[in-house]
């Protein structure tokens, strides 16, 4: 028997599910219908998250397109798996990356650090953990308010100001607007004597 848990749903959703069961699926349990509905919704969400017209495997939020190869090495041997369609296949079995790591090595490891990935059309193998970090960083940068993707047209140039900028701003720009400038313009006494 599969263990179950209780989740809270809106009364109108429960009523609609109960009405559907009464009218169409009298032999099915209400919990079975809810489980099927959630599974279908998750499958639909995964399809929506994929790039258009592309098949592949989702490892958490990391999308591995069809044709991606995975490699894991131990002192004894190096093992390979591949993404075929929407599945990760190793020894003719559909597995998760963690199951691939466990079966290939025979011990429990962090799959993110143990598995190296070769994307389709690339020659280099990259550690899965690095790909995940790079994806998170790009998502973080994209969520910043000042980020403007390259596809948008550049902003109109600002009109020239009536008064010129002070020379110290032009010579020593502040690198970060939220920090106090620590550099100060000065000249050594030897340099002043040479003038």
Tell me the per-residue pLDDT of 9-54, one tens digit each, with 9 for 90 and over: 888 888 888 888 888 777 778 888 888 888 888 877 777 666 666 7
Residue 172 pLDDT grade (very low, low, confident, very high; cuts 50, 70, 90): very low
Q: What is the average pLDDT across 100-124?
A: 88
Domains of the chain by residue range: 11-49, 58-143
pLDDT at 42: 81
pLDDT class of 151 with cuts at 50, 70, 90: low
What is the average pLDDT score of the chain?
77
Higher pLDDT, 42 or 72: 72
d(CA 113, CA 118): 14
């Amino acid at each position: 028997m599969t263990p179950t848990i209780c989740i809270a749903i809106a009364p109108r959703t429960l009523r609609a599910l109960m009405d559907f069961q009464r009218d169409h699926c009298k032999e099915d349990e209400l919990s079975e219908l809810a489980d099927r509905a959630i599974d279908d919704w998750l499958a639909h969400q995964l399809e929506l998250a994929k790039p258009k017209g592309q098949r592949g495997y989702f490892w958490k939020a990391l999308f591995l397109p069809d044709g991606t190869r995975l490699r894991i090495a131990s002192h004894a041997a190096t093992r390979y798996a591949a993404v075929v369609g929407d599945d990760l296949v190793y020894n003719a079995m559909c597995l998760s990356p963690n199951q691939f790591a466990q079966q290939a090595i025979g011990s429990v490891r962090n799959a993110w650090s143990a598995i190296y990935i070769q994307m389709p059309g690339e020659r280099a193998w990259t550690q899965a953990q690095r790909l995940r970090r790079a994806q998170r960083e790009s998502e973080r940068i994209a969520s910043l308010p000042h980020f403007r993707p390259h596809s948008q047209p550049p902003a109109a140039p600002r009109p020239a100001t009536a008064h010129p900028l002070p020379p110290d701003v032009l010579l020593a720009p502040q690198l970060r607007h939220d920090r106090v400038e620590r550099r100060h313009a000065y000249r050594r006494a030897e340099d002043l004597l040479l003038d």
